[in-house]
Structure 1
Amino acid sequence: MQCCNGFPRVTVEPLLFSSMMFITMYTMISQQYIYKRFSFDYGLINTTGKYNQCSLNSSDPRAQLEEKVSAETSLWVLYLNVAGVVPSVISATLIGSWGDTVGRRKPMISVYLGAVAMISIYISVFHFQLPLYVLLIGRLVCGLSGDFTALLASCFAYVADVSSIQSRTIRFAVAEASIGIGGVVGSYVTGAWVKQQGLELPLWLPFALTIFGFVYTLFLLPESIQRDDVSFFQDLKKLFTCNPFVGLWRMLMLEAKRGKQLLSVLFCFFLVLVLYNGYSDVIVVYELSPPFCWTSDQIGYGSMITAGSFIVALVAFKLLNNRCSDWWFVFIGVVSMTTSFLILAFAKQSWNIYLACSIGILCSMPVTALRSMLSRLVNPEEQGSIFALVACAQTISQFSASVMYNTIYKETVAFFPGTVFLVAVGISVFVLIIFSFVYKYTKDRLQLKIPEYSQVEENC
Structure 2
Amino acid sequence: MDAVEEISKARYIATEPINFLILAIQGMLTTLRTLYFRETLASDYEYNLLPQQDGNCSLPNVSNPLEVQINSETALWVMWLASISTFIPILTASVLVATSDFIGRKPILIFSATGHLIASLIYLLVSVMRLPLAVTFLAAITLGVCGDTSAAITVCTAYIADSTSGNTRTQRLVLQSLAVYAGWGCGQAVGGVLLRYLGNFPVCFAVPVALSVINLAYTVCPGVLLETMPPREHFNAKEVLCKSFKNLRGIFSRRMSEERWTVWCLITIVCLQNLVIESLHDIIIIYGLGSPFCWTADIVGYYSAAVSLFPAGVASLIVRPLLRCFSEYWLIHFSLISAIAQKVTSALAQNTVQLAIIATVVSFMRTTASPVCKDLISRAVSKREHGMYFALLSFATSLMAVCSPFLVNGLFAYTNKIGFPQITFYVTSVILLIPMTLNGIMQYYVQKTQREMESPQNDDHLRLEPREDEHLLLPRSNANQH
TM-score (structure 1 length as normaliser) = 0.82
1:341 aligned residue: 343
User: Residues 375 and 108 (structure 1 numbering): CA distance in 2 closer, same or farther, change over 3 Å?
Assistant: farther
| 1:246 pairs with 2:246 | yes
Deviation at 1:9, TM superposition (A): 5.3
More helix by share: 2
Deviation at residue 303 of structure 1 after TM alignment = 1.2
8 Å CA contact 1:119–1:138 kept in 2: the answer is: yes
Quick one: distance in 1 between partners of 2:396 and 2:3? 26
Q: Secondary structure at the match of 2:362?
A: helix
- Quote how far apart the aligned CAs of 1:216 are: 3.5
Deviation at 1:164, TM superposition (A): 6.6
Which moves more between the two structures, 215-224 or 299-308? 215-224
Residue type at the aligned position of 1:148 = T
Matches within 5 A, 1:77-226: 77-159=78-160, 173-197=174-198, 198-218=200-220, 219=222, 220-223=224-227
Change (3 A) 1:175 1:305: same
Write the mapping of 1:311-350 to structure 2, written as runs, cut at 5 A.
Answer: 311-317=313-319, 319-320=321-322, 324-350=326-352
Change (3 A) 1:313 1:204: farther
Are positions 1:45 and 2:48 aligned together? yes
SS in 2 for 1:291: coil
Write the mapping of 1:354-373 to structure 2, written as runs, cut at 5 A: 354-373=357-376
After the TM superposition, which of the residue ranges 142-151 and 293-302 deviates more from structure 2?
A: 142-151
Which residue of 423, 429, 435 maps to 1:425? 429
| Contact 1:176/1:368, CA 8 A, preserved across alignment | no
Q: Equivalents in 2 of 1:136, 1:344: separation in Å?
A: 30
- Structure 1 residue aligned with 2:420: 416
Aligned to 2:289: 288
**1:67 Cα offset (Å):** 0.3
* Percent identity between the two aligned chains: 22
Alpha carbons of structure 1 residues 230 and 60: separation in structure 2 relative to 1, 3 Å = closer
The corresponding residue for 1:457 is none
Aligned twin of 1:456: none
Aligned residues of 1:168 and 1:372 also touching (Cα < 8 A):
no
| Correspondences of 1:432-451 after superposition (within 5 Å) | 432-438=436-442
- Matched to 2:312, the amino acid is F
Q: Could you tell me which runs of 5 or more consecutive residues in structure 1 were left unpaired when the two chains were aligned.
A: 446-460
Q: Which amino acid aligns with 1:175?
A: Q
Greater alpha carbon shift after TM alignment, 301-310 vs 216-225: 216-225
State the shift of 1:136 in Å. Answer: 0.6
- Shift of residue 437, structure 1, vs aligned partner: 3.8
- SS of corresponding position for 2:42: helix
Equivalent residue, structure 2, for 1:13 = 16
CA contact (8 A) 2:57 2:293 kept: no
Q: Computing the radius of gyration over CA atoms, which structure comes out larger, 1 or 2?
A: 2
Between the aligned partners of 2:146 and 2:286, the Cα distance in structure 1 is: 28
Distance in 2 of aligned mates of 1:246 and 1:174: 34
Alpha-carbon separation, structure 2, partners of 1:256 and 1:172 = 33
User: Distance between the aligned counterparts of 2:153 and 2:61, measured in 1?
Assistant: 46
- Measured after TM superposition, the shift of residue 170 of structure 1 is 7.2
* Unmatched runs of 5 consecutive residues or more in structure 2: 451-482
Q: Distance in 2 between matches of 1:424 and 1:43?
A: 34
Q: Evaluate the alpha carbon distance shift between residue 27 and residue 253 of structure 1 in structure 2; reply closer, same or farther with a 3 A threshold.
A: same
Amino acid at match of 2:82: N
Answer whether contact 2:109 2:155 (CA < 8 A) is retained.
Answer: yes
Deviation of the 1:409 alpha carbon: 0.6
Q: Distance in 2 between matches of 1:273 and 1:84?
A: 16
Closer, same or farther: CA 248–97 of 1 in aligned 2, 3 Å = farther
The superposition leaves residues 249-291 of structure 1 with CA deviations (integer Å, 9 ceiling, x where unpaired) of 4566578546554443222211121222121231211111111
Residue pair 1:157, 1:383 contacting (<8 A) in 2 also: no
Distance 1:75 1:403, change over 3 A: same
Q: Which moved more, 1:247-256 or 1:285-294?
A: 247-256
Tell me the amino acid that sits aligned with residue 420 of structure 1.
T
RMSD (Å), alpha carbons: 3.5
Q: What is the CA distance between 1:370 and its match in structure 2? A: 2.8
Deviation at 1:402, TM superposition (A): 0.5
Q: Residue 396 of structure 2 corresponds to which residue in structure 1? A: 393
Q: Higher relative CO (CA 8 A, sep ≥ 6), structure 1 or 2?
A: 1
Structure 2 counterpart of 1:402, from 394, 398, 405: 405
Q: Which has the higher mean CA deviation after the structures are superposed, 263-272 or 154-163?
A: 154-163
Q: CA deviation at 1:326?
A: 2.8
For the 8 Å contact 2:96–2:147, the answer to whether it is kept is: yes
State the alpha-carbon separation in 2 of the partners of residues 146 and 189 from structure 1: 24
Q: State the aligned residue count.
A: 437
Equivalent residues of 1:17, 1:182 under 8 A apart: yes
The residue type paired with residue 136 of structure 1 is: F
**Cα displacement (A) at 1:352:** 0.8
1:203-231 CA distance string (max 9 Å, x none) = 22222333333344455444555xx5425
Alignment of 1:17-32 (within 5 A): 17-32=20-35
